[in-house]
Amino acid sequence: MAGLLFGKQAEQYAQRRPKYPKEWFSMLASLTPEHKVAWDAGTGTGQAALSVAEHYDQVIATDMSAAQLEHAAPHPKVCYLHNPISASEDELVSMLGGDNSIDLIISATAVHWFDLPFFYSVVNRVLKKPNGIIAVWTYGYDIPILKNTMKMVYQATLPYRDPRTFLLQEKYKKLPFPFESLGYGSEGSPMELDMETEMTLDEFVDTLKTTSSFIKAKEQGVELLSDEILKEMKREWGDSTGSRKLVNRASMLVGKPKFN
């Protein structure tokens, strides 16, 4: 399970995963008339929840990994809750405050791990009608300055990839998203965005090691970053001791429940 997988690298995950641009959260907040309650589904260590809290009175941040939540940064507006995989739909709805209770739902690089029919059923129940919205997004490592390296990394990870991660690899173009578009991406056509971050080469390597395929390979005693890959990475990176500005390609879908 994804919760167990990422739980084993929770501390490193909290330290190394890039932050999402604050402009994204301002844009999403502008789409909801009320700013009382938001839900961050699959919060991990809370990177997105903290930014949502700048715009909403309360953020309910849930994850199936108790280990991830233990490394989440505390915030007075954020309530971190462990939701076990065994929770029923009614139990999860109750945990979130009941039907028609949420202004904004986000899932940051997590929705591809979910039982989508179950999740979307909960979404349609808890979002406020008619103005509550859901936004999901993901990002990849197709970084322009590391073009050859990331092709090599992709091939190395293939035997260890969970099938669900191919939704991520395809930038959510094949992600089911049965919601009314608000002009910020729609099913089959996500909105494309850039994420900029500064990292040293060592920090970037550590970030790669927090991905599911690297964790799975490590459990089997396999080191995916071969000498050949590291050599090419250093060549493309340039100055191996300095930080570089990296641009990650991101994809987002924003919508609201459809009404018959």
CA 46/CA 48 separation, integer angstroms: 6
CA 46/CA 182 separation, integer angstroms: 26
Alpha-helix residue ranges (DSSP H) falling in 170-226 = 201-208, 212-219
CATH superfamily, domain at 2-256: Vaccinia Virus protein VP39 (3.40.50.150)
Angstrom distances, CA of residue 220 to CA of 2, 60, 160, 217: 17, 35, 10, 5
pLDDT at position 178, please? 97
**Domains of the chain, residue spans:** 2-256
pTM of the shown model: 0.86
**Each residue's pLDDT expressed in tens, for the chain with a length of 260 residues:** 454 444 445 455 445 557 899 999 999 999 999 999 999 999 999 999 999 999 999 999 999 988 889 989 999 999 999 999 899 999 999 999 999 999 999 999 999 999 999 999 999 999 999 999 999 999 887 788 898 999 999 899 989 888 888 888 899 999 999 999 999 999 999 999 998 888 889 888 988 888 888 888 999 999 999 999 999 999 999 876 678 888 888 999 999 998 76
CA 241/CA 75 separation, integer angstroms: 34
Cβ-in-10-Å burial (0-12, 13-18, 19+) of 1 comes to exposed
What is the 3 state secondary structure string of 31-85? Answer: CCCCCCEEEEECCCCCHHHHHHCCCCCEEEEEECCHHHHHCCCCCCCEEEEECCC
140 in Cβ contact with 249 (< 8 Å): yes
Element (H, E) at 105: strand 104-108
